[in-house]
Structure 1
Amino acid sequence: MRSQRLTIGNERGAVAIFVALTLTMFIGVAALAVDVGYMMVGKTELQRTADAAALAATRRLGYIYEGMSYTEQQVYDATGDAAVIQNAAIDVASQNRAAGTSVVINTADIQIGTWNQARNPRFVETLSQPNAVQVTARRDGTASTGPIGTFFARIFGIDNVNVSAEATAALTGQSTVAEGGLPVPIGISQYFFSNPEFCHDNITFYPANSPESCAGWHIFDRTEYNNANDQALRTTIGQLDSGTYTSPALDTDSIFKFTGGTMSQQTFEAMKNLYDHNKDASGDWQVAVPVYQATDCANPNGSIPIVGFATVVITDVLDAPTHTVLGRVECNYVDTGRGGGGNYGTMGTIPGLVQ
């Protein structure tokens, strides 16, 4: 009987020890879960801060480009503007908190450079013609605010945790144009840009069915015309020349009406007048044009979606007997507008997050 009582007592003692150990383990796991959750919230807050800071700094870069000519943009070095760009990121970051503490970003964690989706690495730090800013927001030993402190993990000797988040914003392909931003009714085929060497390539805008052409003529999205015929095109060109018609604000959801035909002598003369009234002393006329959806260089006809925008220079309009409109495509041009479009040589000044 006494032996039986001892056995029962031993079992009860073993159960008590097991329960105590199990409760300790559960409490430890629960405590760690609290700290992990707090750390993840801090990580999310740092990511939002890095995103906002990168966008603010790159928008400042875009604003700087807005005040430059195309020629100035091609030789731009951001050395003198680096502090202004970095301060834009620092100012925005200071308005955010991570794990209960204001975020302070060091200038060393703000890199100015270029972003190219097709390159490895995609971001390269440089002050020569930059188009992107990369920001790292931290709560670690290198930050003035220090790492994120723990609550219960201290029991296990973990007093704090290092957390950081990185974001990259860039000036990407222009996806919008403002009212009056398309001064000539020309479009370029999307297929033209499938050649990676399209930068500064020559292109024939008319005749649109020539081997050298990968373009076409349109009347924008004008609803007052049922068909994009020669008369509608001539009227549109004449109204653009006289200032009685202004191209509307547009984006990459727009659909344009393309003529798909040849110009009459009167329409070509209207185009030559438009060119003559806008060309500079060297005979160049820099304009923005839409890029239309296409998988070849066939003469566009009918309603076609617009997928982006490009910058071209019309270099000559040759009258009879050749009746030719010549130009070249410009690259690395930053124009006022929103990014997010395709790579057609022109970037918008309003950035987007790319990483």
Structure 2
Amino acid sequence: MRRIGYKQKQKGAVAILVAVMLTMLLSFAALALDVGNLMVSRNELQNAADAAALAAAPCLYRRAECGNLMAVEPDWATAEQRARDSVGLNNVQNVQVEVGTPATGYWNIKDATLGLQTLPMTPTADDLPAVRVTITKTDGNANKAVKTYLAGLFGVKTVDVAAVATAVIAKPSYIGPGGLFPIALSKCLFDNYWDAVKHEPKLATSTAALPGQTVEQVVGEPYKFQVSSSYHAGTCEAGQWTTFTSEENNVPFVRDLIDGKNEDSLAIGQDPGTYIQPGTENSLFGYVKDCSAAGNHSCEWGIVPVVDSLDPRTNQIVQAFACVHVLTAKQGSDPYVLLQMSANHDKCNAESAGGSGPDYGATIPPRLVQ
């Protein structure tokens, strides 16, 4: 018996099978192509959010680049505006990002689950000023959603993507090589003349010199301190040459430290701490004068370790790192370095630093926490 039409039926079945397989192949191709495209777009969007947050965070503090030298810190408004301006400097899929949403508040470095804590709130020592930037690509804003390729054949023409980044500015809890000026200052000096509420130096209220000192003050400016060794000054006006982790006691070695050639790192609470040098080393005061604000300005600004005691030939645990403005220095029978405490974040931004410590004016570069 002849089986009429069998081959025609086979051809029909193959055609259906090819159609089904083609649909599946197109689906997999759409998945591979469009998912890859979304991943690239998402990464570019995250980079844009990261860059905007990192650019904005420094403006939480007074900086010349931010145009907010007279602002009250933290300067939330300037930081948010810098974030908005920075968003547009980035591209996603070769198209400029048009809008991003900034937010400011505090980030707890010990408990990230708290997220960005918005004002009003009372920050603790673990809460750092922060800027968060959210960027969304959706047809509901000027950024527009990410367009698909083959997925459009199945009715999915666009996909929304978003990225969030949060950056903080911290005070250093450790300083790396080349980052410290080799004078240790007493903590009681800072406790007496540093405003712990405003996080800035206290200002002189009269022209009278400090007790036991000779340099007159300028009303409305940070107090000037004749910082000399504990052999010449009281504990709360004293400073002493320090050689960090080395006990080497010679003038050329300390001069190299003044020039930033130290290879040591120091951290708050680190044992054994920083070594307090014996003696006055009179010639070093002349060397500092030459590089101070009265000289060639190469050591005009510095970050120094703050310690409880300045007993010579001892190692002292670092309590904090502070920003100082080195005005001048004087050799002779009563040598001293004349300095002011400072909160100048343009000058005391420690590049080789990290962690989070007490606020004595020095900062570290912004870092991402989200």
TM-score by length of 1: 0.57
Residue 51, structure 1, aligned to residue 50, structure 2: yes
Cα distance in 2 for partners of 1:172, 1:105 equals 27
* Corresponding residue number in structure 1 for 2:357: 344
CA distance in 2, matches of 1:27, 1:45: 27
The answer to whether the aligner puts 1:94 opposite 2:92 as a matched pair is no
Q: List alignment gaps of at least 5 residues for structure 2.
A: 188-198, 200-229, 231-239, 286-301, 308-313, 325-340
Structure-to-structure mapping, 1:102-251, within 5 angstroms = 102-106=96-100, 109-119=101-111, 120-126=113-119, 131-174=129-172, 176=175, 182=181, 184-185=183-184, 218-220=242-244, 228=247, 232=249, 246=258, 248=260
3-state secondary structure, aligned to 2:114: coil
Equivalent pairs, count: 266
Shift of 1:166: 0.8
The Cα shift of 1:24 comes to 1.7
2-structure distance, mates of 1:337, 1:262: 22
C-alpha deviation, 1:51, in angstroms: 0.8
- Describe the superposition over 1:273-304 as per-residue Cα deviations: whole angstroms up to 9, x where unpaired: 9xxxxxxxxxxxxx954499xxxxxx649xxx
Aligned counterpart, 1:9: 8
Question: Larger deviation: 252-261 or 159-168?
Answer: 252-261
Distance 1:2 1:341, change over 3 A: same
Report if the CA contact (8 A) 1:112-1:125 is conserved. yes
Give the Cα separation in 2 of the matches to 1:262 and 1:47: 47
CA–CA distance in structure 2, aligned partners of residues 262 and 85 of structure 1: 40
User: Which residue of structure 1 aligns with residue 27 of structure 2?
Assistant: 28
Residue type at the aligned position of 1:219: T
* RCO higher in structure (CA 8 A, sep ≥6): 1
Cα deviation code 1:128-176 (max 9, x no counterpart): 8862211011211442222112222222111211111111111124255
Structure with greater helix percent: 1
Q: State the 1:179 CA deviation.
A: 7.3
Superposed CA RMSD: 5.0
Q: Deviations over 1:44-102 (max 9, x none)?
A: 111111111001101222444999xxxx99x73535xx0x3223222222121112321
TM-score, with length taken from structure 2: 0.55
Letter in 2 for 1:248: G
CA contact (8 A) 2:242 2:277 kept: no
User: Aligned residues: percent identity?
Assistant: 29
User: Residue 340 and residue 64 in structure 1: after superposition, are their counterparts in 2 closer, same or farther (change >3 A)?
Assistant: same
CA distance in 2, matches of 1:86, 1:171: 14
